[in-house]
Structure 1
Amino acid sequence: MDTIASLFSFITWPVSWVIVQFHTLYGAIFGDDTGWAWGLSIVSLVVLIRICLIPLFVKQIKSTRNMQVLQPKMKAIQERYKSDKQRQSEEMMKLYKETGTNPLSSCLPILAQSPFFFALYHVLSAIASGKTIGVIDQPLLDSARQAHIFGAPLAAKFMDSEAKVQALGASLLDVRVVTAIMIVMMSASQFFTQRQLMTKNVDLTVKTPYMQQQKMLMYIFPVIFAVMGINFPVGVLVYWLTTNVWTMGQQMYVINQNPTPGSKAQDQYLGRLLKSVTAHGEVRGRTKRNTVKRIVSKGSDRNDIERKFITGLAKLGFAAQEDGTLIKSDTALAESESGAAQRRQQPKRQTKAQRQTGAAQQAGAKDTDSTESGSKTSLQKPDASQDDKPKPAGKPASGSSRQAKSGQRKGPQRPKHPSKK
């Protein structure tokens, strides 16, 4: 780790300068040698870095969503050109170019943050070794070595020996308890961040290997953080825990305000938006109007959640416009009610066994009706009307049910089994 950190030594001067400026501010409030002054300086460094990385985070979100949408097409290309790897790569690059997707965009925030992380590690390692670095001179070095966070020095590690910890003015038990709690919190925040991404902000209609990969990373990343955390100084653990909490909160905001289409989060978001329209009679806020605008522009390409939202607006008597606003529309309400009535009038689909039973009952009822009608005809006495002409002898009555056709059995016919029809 020290070798990797030394590769980013060129940025240690800016990082140390930012920490010293924040330390000057917090030192005036809490005291120069307190853990609060140095700890909050590290936290403020994280906040400053993450604010600068917000544009990259927006690109990461767009890239991740585009990758989710492209997964079915990518899978089709892999199946089509599985025997030609060069053609497969060419088609993949062509697909990325046409859609404006960059697979590396999802890693930009981590890559951009890595130099600051290793530079901070380099600074804290120098403090632990008693060496001045960057703008941290000897007085600031002595102040940082005296700073403790809940009894653990900023430069102490979980795996440090008792002699090294005592040289920093602390006990080994305090250092290991504090670092263990911070490692667990760091791993738990990483797991929760990845879990809420998989359970709420993933398009459930797209089942691809990409989702399985993300699900695997949900369990691998916390383990990696736990293994690496035992070799991190307390100051680096403060840095990494702060950035994980920031990422978790930032992602929660994105999921609630700009969810992935087709995800559970989008269903919840549009449900809240529909309640807001019911209460106020309009779409409030530019972000919400942009959401309605995107749904309207999709037309027939809307997913089930978006179609349900448009139907809900129609039931309220509103029609969404291309600019994201709503207008009162009796036609939309009438179409919604007529569509609901048609859906209610549709007969319930029967199972195969129910259809066979119904067919057998209908066949039996027809045969019974024909038998009863034939018996009634044979038992009734013909009226001795003068208009009726006597029928010639020897010729049977054509309407009599007692005379069976040739080749047929006399009497009522047994219903055939439905499977023989």
Structure 2
Amino acid sequence: MAFLDTILYPLEWVVANVMVIWHQILEFLGLDPAAGITWALSIVGLVVTIRIALIPLFVKQIKASRAMQVIAPELREIQNKYKNKKDQASREAMSRETMELYSKHKTNPFASCLPMLIQAPIFFALFRVLNYYLEGDKGEIGLLTQNLIDQAASATLFGAQLNETFLTPGSSTEAKILSAVLIVAMVATTFLTQRQLTQKNMPASALEGPMAQQQKILMYVLPFIFVISGPNFPVGVLIYWTTTNLWTMGQQFYVIRRNPTPGSEAERRLNERKAEKARRKGLTIEGTGFDMTAETDTKPTGGQRQQPKRKNRNKGGQRPQQGGGKPDAGTGDDANGDGSDGDSGKSS
């Protein structure tokens, strides 16, 4: 325990200070400082602060995941190449070729897990702040004074204290109900986030093979883990977990919608939206596979302006008379319509 205290204390200090700062902001905005909703929103503010700080890592995670999806066919070829070879030389060759492939595309399978790995210590730091400091066993930490500790420990959200768990002996019915609701929300958001990633933002080539199977297994295993572990965590930690899942799902939805993986279902839908937008504007989007030229007005090519058609003359070639006058002389037109001069019918 002393080892954990030494390792996690800096993170616990940061977590406690961020929570108190958000608590002060919410109090300034008019919320009751002793209310459970104020402390719950302080935990939400902690999530917002951490996730904003992790945006650069999230961008790297997206790039790494995309690169892993792109190299999936090549990686599968290497695995098939050494599939039935169990000797040491073949294993070393497969590892070497795999690492060369990662190096060529500047990615590795661990890069996509980096944000999650960084959030794990923060999660445990929050767990310890709620589980130990609010119990009064650890005393003050940073800006979290004893007065604030007593205030947070006695605050309730829908009748449940933030440091109560589903399995706490003597925990209130409200705490059990709220914990159950948050666990269900946690499981649902985790499953939907994984499904969104695998079903919409992976190319067809990445939906086959061992890696695709691992993604599918992960999509069902992670929610099951939360069902097992969730009842052991305080209500405040469950609020943090559910909020960060919602942030992840929303952030991923935005990235997939605006910048999908090439060849994925999300890219096809993006092209459809672009084509529909182009159709409304009467334009043609190149590279989308949707030709909008049939629905737009035909324009002359080659930069030439289309010449207006010349109106037909009146029958007989006579120009219209104005004011009852005679046709203009000397025009050479056939006045009688028989090909002869107009005066040919008179005697000389």
TM-score calculated relative to the size of structure 1: 0.65
Amino acid at match of 2:259: N
1:128–1:156 Cα contact (<8 Å) kept: no
What is the aligned partner in structure 1 of residue 78 from structure 2?
77
Q: What SS does the corresponding residue of 2:291 show, helix, strand or coil? A: helix
Identity among equivalent positions (%) equals 43
Q: 2:168 is matched with which residue: 160, 169, 175?
A: 160
What is the aligned partner in structure 2 of residue 12 from structure 1?
12
Deviation at 1:329, TM superposition (A): 9.8
Question: C-alpha deviations, 1:263-304, integer Å up to 9, x for none?
Answer: 221111100001112223569xxxxxxxx8xxx8xxxxxxxx
Does the alignment pair 1:252 with 2:272? no
What is the aligned partner in structure 2 of residue 134 from structure 1?
141
Question: C-alpha deviations, 1:194-223, integer Å up to 9, x for none?
Answer: 112222222124422211111111111101
Amino acid at match of 1:134: I
CA distance in 1, matches of 2:36, 2:276: 47
What is the aligned partner in structure 2 of residue 43 from structure 1?
44
Deviation at 1:176, TM superposition (A): 0.6
Question: C-alpha deviations, 1:291-339, integer Å up to 9, x for none?
Answer: x8xxx8xxxxxxxxx5xx1452565679xxxxxxxxx9969xxxxxxxx
Q: 2:128 is matched with which residue: 106, 122, 131?
A: 122
Report the more deviating stretch, 13-22 or 195-204: 195-204
What is the aligned partner in structure 1 of residue 305 from structure 2?
none
Question: C-alpha deviations, 1:22-58, integer Å up to 9, x for none?
Answer: 1111123211110121111100110111111111111
What is the aligned partner in structure 2 of residue 148 from structure 1?
156
Matches within 5 A, 1:281-292: 281=282
Deviation at 1:6, TM superposition (A): 6.7
Q: What SS does the corresponding residue of 2:141 show, helix, strand or coil? A: coil
1:27–1:33 Cα contact (<8 Å) kept: no
Q: 2:291 is matched with which residue: 308, 312, 315?
A: 312
Matches within 5 A, 1:12-411: 12-28=12-28, 29-82=30-83, 83=85, 84-131=90-137, 132-135=139-142, 136-162=144-170, 165=171, 172-206=172-206, 207-281=208-282, 309-312=288-291
Question: C-alpha deviations, 1:325-357, integer Å up to 9, x for none?
Answer: xxx9969xxxxxxxxxxxxxxxxxxxxxxxxxx
CA distance in 1, matches of 2:301, 2:57: 45
CA distance in 1, matches of 2:301, 2:245: 50
2:134–2:149 Cα contact (<8 Å) kept: no
1:127–1:145 Cα contact (<8 Å) kept: no
Q: 1:314 to 1:250 in 2, by over 3 A?
A: same
> How many residues matched?
292
Q: What SS does the corresponding residue of 1:249 show, helix, strand or coil? A: helix
CA distance in 2, matches of 1:117, 1:215: 25
CA distance in 1, matches of 2:128, 2:7: 10
Q: 1:329 to 1:10 in 2, by over 3 A?
A: farther
CA distance in 1, matches of 2:290, 2:300: 13
Deviation at 1:128, TM superposition (A): 4.0
CA distance in 2, matches of 1:314, 1:5: 68
Question: C-alpha deviations, 1:200-251, integer Å up to 9, x for none?
Answer: 2221244222111111111111011111111111110010000000111111
CA distance in 2, matches of 1:52, 1:117: 15
Deviation at 1:120, TM superposition (A): 0.8
TM-score calculated relative to the size of structure 2: 0.78
CA distance in 1, matches of 2:5, 2:168: 19
CA distance in 1, matches of 2:110, 2:295: 44
Question: C-alpha deviations, 1:52-107, integer Å up to 9, x for none?
Answer: 11111111111111111211111211222343111111111111111111221110
Q: 1:268 to 1:122 in 2, by over 3 A?
A: same
Q: 1:205 to 1:95 in 2, by over 3 A?
A: closer
Higher relative contact order (CA 8 A, sep 6+): 2
Deviation at 1:14, TM superposition (A): 1.3
Amino acid at match of 1:161: P
CA distance in 1, matches of 2:168, 2:195: 33
1:147–1:154 Cα contact (<8 Å) kept: yes
Q: What SS does the corresponding residue of 2:71 show, helix, strand or coil? A: helix
CA distance in 1, matches of 2:5, 2:294: 61
Task: Give 5+ residue unaligned stretches, structure 1.
Answer: 166-171, 284-291, 297-305, 319-327, 332-421
CA distance in 2, matches of 1:15, 1:150: 24
Q: 1:178 to 1:4 in 2, by over 3 A?
A: farther
Q: 1:24 to 1:317 in 2, by over 3 A?
A: same
2:135–2:153 Cα contact (<8 Å) kept: no
Q: 1:313 to 1:208 in 2, by over 3 A?
A: farther
